[in-house]
Structures are given as structure tokens and as C-alpha cells.
């Protein structure tokens, strides 16, 4: 069976469009850009991690899983000395905080987690970014 030139062209366009879609979906798929444990004792302590938001990613989400402790904590994402996202909470016991998806520009950012007060905290912090497709 011989395919006409028009049919071959249509099939080629479909294959190219599908390949472009797969590449875009792969590049914008959600990925964890920073993940670290936190173990603070009584007093004021701070941990800062740098991360890069990949090209084509435009949203960020923060998950903070508290395993134990009683403390006032604060978390913040900054980019070029501008605050992109911030949240503070008083913590007692186990819980998981999950932020909404927040707009963010590609580039280098800092995530800061700090406790204030006389309590201690054991936690895991995870920052995820994604592109517009997802």
C-alpha cells in the first residue's frame, strides 16, 4: 500500500506535534527542587536552602511535615530579595502543612525555615515546582 504525499505530510505533522507535546509535558512536570529535614531545639534557629526554579516552571508549592515539637515556626521563599511566599504557624504535635500553588519566576531562590520561642521542632520540608501544563 502506497501512502499519498498528503497523508504522509499529515502523519508527519501529527508525529511532530505529539513529540513537541511530550517534550513540553516532560519539561513542565512537577519536580521537587529542595527537600531537607529540620531538627531544632529550644531557641531561635534558622535553616536556609538555595534552589533553582527550572525554565518553564511557573508555580511553587511548599509542604512542611512536622513530626514532633511545640514551636512557633515561619517559612519563606525569596527571589532577588523579594518575598515570593511566606507562612507562619504555631505548632503543637504532628501535622502537615501544604501551601497553595503560588506563582514564581524561573531562577535562583532561597527557602528559609525558622523557629522562634522556647519549643523544639522535628520536621521535613519539601518545595515542588511545576509548569503551566500541570
Residue 1 has pLDDT above 70, yes or no: no
CA 120, distance to chain mean position in Å, is: 25
Given this model, what pLDDT does residue 2 score?
63
Domain that holds residue 91: 5-131
Residue 63 has pLDDT above 90, yes or no: yes
Query: Minimal CA–CA distance to 129: which of 64, 80, 57?
Result: 57
How many folded domains does the chain comprise?
A: 1
Residue pLDDT, tens place only, 15-48: 999 999 988 888 889 999 999 999 888 778 899 9
Strands (E), the chain: 31-40, 45-53, 57-79, 82-92, 95-98, 102-103, 107-116, 121-131
Q: Which three cell numbers stand for residue 73?
A: 515556626
25: alpha, beta or left? (left if phi > 0; alpha if psi -120 to 50) = alpha
Q: Which three cell numbers stand for residue 134?
A: 500541570
Residue 8 main-chain phi, psi, to 5 deg: -60, -40
Given this model, what pLDDT does residue 129 score?
96
Residue 93 is part of a domain; what is its CATH number? 2.60.120.380
| Whether 77 contacts 111, CB under 8 Å | yes
Angle at 118 between CA 116 and CA 124, to 5 degrees: 60
**Model-level pTM?**
0.83
Which residues pair with residue 77 across a beta bridge? 85, 111
Given this model, what pLDDT does residue 94 score?
85
Residue pLDDT, tens place only, 49-62: 999 999 999 999 99
pLDDT bracket for residue 109 (50, 70, 90): very high
CA 66, distance to chain mean position in Å, is: 18
Residue pLDDT, tens place only, 86-97: 999 887 778 889
Amino acid at each position: 500500500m502506497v501512502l499519498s504525499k498528503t497523508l504522509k505530510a499529515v502523519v508527519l505533522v501529527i508525529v511532530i506535534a505529539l513529540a513537541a507535546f511530550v517534550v513540553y509535558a516532560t519539561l513542565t512536570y512537577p519536580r521537587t527542587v529542595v527537600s531537607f529535614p529540620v531538627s531544632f531545639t529550644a531557641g531561635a534557629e534558622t535553616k536556609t536552602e538555595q534552589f533553582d526554579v527550572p525554565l518553564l516552571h511557573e508555580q511553587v508549592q511548599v509542604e512542611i511535615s512536622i513530626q514532633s515539637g511545640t514551636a512557633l515556626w515561619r517559612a519563606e521563599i525569596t527571589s532577588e530579595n523579594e518575598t515570593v511566599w511566606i507562612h507562619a504557624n504555631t505548632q503543637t504535635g504532628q501535622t502537615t502543612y501544604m501551601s497553595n500553588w503560588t506563582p514564581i519566576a524561573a531562577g535562583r531562590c532561597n527557602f528559609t525555615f525558622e523557629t522562634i520561642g522556647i519549643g523544639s521542632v522535628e520536621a521535613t520540608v519539601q518545595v515542588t515546582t511545576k509548569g503551566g501544563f500541570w
